[in-house]
């Protein structure tokens, strides 16, 4: 049986923040399980800051079907967690089942990767207090208000958590997360 890795999404999850890690998990031979508020198709978005702009422009992107609703997730069945960015975390952070799931991964010290606005979910779960992490600079306050230390770097590892700023950092922090998953899975067959 393949180790399962949980990847929460919602409408307006950032496509590159989401699809790249799903494919990396599958490439490593693990089962990428996409969870969401309900089991249905979700609308991913593309975020970029065009030259000369001060803010992010959002456009439609791919659609992705979730495999399971948050309420049906038993986190004991999963070896790792990937928290994607985009605008989805703005409302997903209010889902009590997702917060329960997130806390489990930190309490069990399982590998967790977080990118961009995904920090909003981790902050709402109160799991980043006293930790160092990267995120998009406009989410620096989310880290600091939650008792964490913002680091403007493409890969920041703090214990069982690794983080990156945006999808531009995927090749750096996701590689570290893959190493963490391999080590965890080898130690917990």
- Residues assigned a catalytic role: 117
Place of tokens 């779960």: 125
| β partners of residue 63 | 43
Place of tokens 């920041």: 156
Does residue 108 contact residue 78 with C-beta atoms inside 8 Å? no
Residues 6+ apart with CB under 8 A from 100: 75
Which is it for strands 149-150 and 78-83: parallel, antiparallel or unpaired?
Answer: unpaired
């Amino acid at each position: 049986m393949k180790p399962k890795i949980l990847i929460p999404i919602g409408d307006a999850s950032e496509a590159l923040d989401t699809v790249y890690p799903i494919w990396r998990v599958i490439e490593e031979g693990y089962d990428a399980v996409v969870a969401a508020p309900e089991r249905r198709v979700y609308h991913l978005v593309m975020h970029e800051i065009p030259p000369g702009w001060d803010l992010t422009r959002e456009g439609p992107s791919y659609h992705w079907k979730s495999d399971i609703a948050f309420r049906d997730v038993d986190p004991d069945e999963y070896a790792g967690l990937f928290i994607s960015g985009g605008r989805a975390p703005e409302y997903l952070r209010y889902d009590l089942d997702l917060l329960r799931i997130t806390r489990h991964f930190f309490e069990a010290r399982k590998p967790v990767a977080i990118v961009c606005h995904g920090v909003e979910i981790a902050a709402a779960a109160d799991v980043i207090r006293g930790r160092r992490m990267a995120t998009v600079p406009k989410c620096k306050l989310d880290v600091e208000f939650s008792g964490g230390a913002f680091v403007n770097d493409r890969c920041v590892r703090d214990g069982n958590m690794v983080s990156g700023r945006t999808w531009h950092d995927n090749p750096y922090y996701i590689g570290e997360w893959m190493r963490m998953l391999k080590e965890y899975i080898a130690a917990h067959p």
